[in-house]
A and B are shown apart, each in its own frame.
Chain A
């Protein structure tokens, strides 16, 4: 039933006839396009032009449009190309495509120096916008927190407990495993290098200080940013996409109070717990390696640890944890609520949430280091 399409030229004196035959459908579109382009070039300047379509077996939008395109390009000056022999079935289709304005789509994405400068400017302004957004969210969360303190009945306990389970309880195995391994690695590397000076036992000092002050909390915060920050952004983002957040607002609920506050609270409570568990796991791993690899007996390890570290080191680590949790939570919620309609936007904001979350955690860690150094802790 399908036959190859053809376009034959018949020239009689000053008249040009183009006879279209065969199947003019989407499947033959590449062939058709070439034929039409050839026919356009070879037209010359006849006095009258006919496009005979009486022998066309099948016609669809592609075929009809290409015939229309041929008709338009052959129509020059006073000579108008005519379509002849159109069967009744296809006349409405041909009429339909005749109404089409073929405005070529202009691609406006050319790279210019001013365009690049503009992008840099926008990026810098965007940084200021990000910081403003974070401060805004911090304020909104605190305000919601005070409202809840005044009206404790509006506090969402169930939601908070649910998020505690997701963020804290379910994260315990992976956090303990990873910090345990990191503790092992630090101890092994320490012993390997300290042994050259005969200072094996100082590995306990290094491990204790490093784990309690820095590694424990920082590592756990980075893992929580990747694990829970991304989840918060994706949850809030897809709720935003499906207008669920708008629905909450119209029912008179504050999305910050209903959605953000329980999540923030869960995170702020969870991170110190996880950081503590992580630090213990790292110390345990380090102690194990010191014993099995470095020959430091557990009794000696514990004695040395008691001398090497003070409660200050532990407090320094624990004080940082809730602040880092707040930073991660605020970044994640800001990004989640900034999601626009598309799936791509959700992906972008989830990525941004993790990247910014980790960045701010490290910045905060630096700020804390300076602060504690200057107060002598």
Chain B
């Protein structure tokens, strides 16, 4: 048991090899390699339009790739059987940039949707787990009765996170979780991700533009540029890097403000 756990820690939870994604003649990702380790929060940064969301969507399987392989939980997603793939999908949760809550369902029904599909449990347990998830993401139980159109931007993000966590996944993808939130709300959200990662033992793949998030929430940072990972490492490694874009990003006016 302990041995198994040891090997799992060393094995990357996501292993991306030589991935190439092309839209028409534009090559967005070009032979990209990336490992995400178990239990870490990986911050994924890069200039706007560099293909951060594209990589996320490629890993999840929403964008087809031209070449390369993706392994999640040690399962190669190209050669896996349907049942293997479903099993993998059950173990990850995705928070989309705009929340992507189902607008015709209440918040409670949104959170229960994956449970209803995958688990055969009583309505009572689903209701109670919904309350637990809402409490975890810092919302009041009354929110469960509301519809997504009645929520504020910050609440939508929180509910979307609760839905992503609904099946207790091992891995969560967060696509710009703090964009559109006020700095205090964004700070709270970072704190929340951090806490949840500790409590639930999550691995978090976070696409972000938010320097604060990188400093406070992330264990490791990967930088995307020209369709490749141009750097990966701790925040200190990033600051020490001589790459022109990285220098600008981590030593610009905003970065200095964050570092104080």
Contacts and interface: CB of A to CB of B under 8 A. Distances in A.
Interface of A: 1, 25-27, 29-30, 33, 57, 60-62, 65-66, 69, 89, 92-93, 96-97, 99-105, 340-344
24 contacts: A1-B1, A25-B168, A27-B119, A29-B119, A29-B121, A33-B121, A33-B125, A61-B200, A62-B121, A65-B129, A65-B132, A66-B125, A93-B199, A96-B135, A96-B136, A96-B199, A102-B127, A102-B128, A102-B131, A103-B141, A104-B127, A341-B103, A341-B149, A344-B103
A342 B103 contact: yes
B135 A26 contact: no
B243 interface: no
B122 A342 contact: no
Interface in B113-127: 115, 118-122, 124-125, 127
A57 B104 CA distance: 39
B73 interface: no
Contacts of A343: 103-104
Contacts of B108: 105
A30 B121 contact: yes
B131 A62 contact: no
Contacts of B247: none
B131 A101 contact: yes
Nearest to A93: B199
B133 interface: yes
A1 B5 CA distance: 10
B167 interface: yes
Contacts of A93: 199-200
B147 interface: yes
Given A33-B122, A62-B125, 11 more contacts: A1-B1, A26-B167, A62-B168, A65-B125, A65-B129, A96-B199, A341-B147, A341-B148, A341-B149, A342-B148, A343-B103
B129 A61 contact: yes
B104 A100 contact: no
B125 to A, nearest CB: 5
Nearest to A105: B127
A26 B168 contact: yes
B94 interface: no
Contacts of A57: 1
Given A26-B119, A30-B119, A341-B149, A101 B141 contact: yes
A354 to B, nearest CB: 20
Contacts of A89: 201
B155 to A, nearest CB: 14
Contact of A342 (B124, B125, B149, B195): B149
A102 B129 CA distance: 9
B129 A344 contact: no
A60 B127 contact: no
A10 to B, nearest CB: 24
A103 B200 CA distance: 23
Contacts of B124: 104
Nearest to B136: A96
Contact of A61 (B103, B120, B168): B168
A92 B150 CA distance: 32
A129 to B, nearest CB: 21
A29 to B, nearest CB: 5
Contacts of B133: 61
A341 B99 CA distance: 14
Which A-B residue pairs are the 8 nearest by beta carbons?
Answer: A341-B149, A342-B103, A344-B104, A60-B168, A92-B199, A100-B132, A29-B121, A93-B199
A104 B104 CA distance: 22
A7 B1 CA distance: 21
A30 B131 CA distance: 18
A227 B198 CA distance: 55
B154 to A, nearest CB: 17
Contacts of B103: 341-344
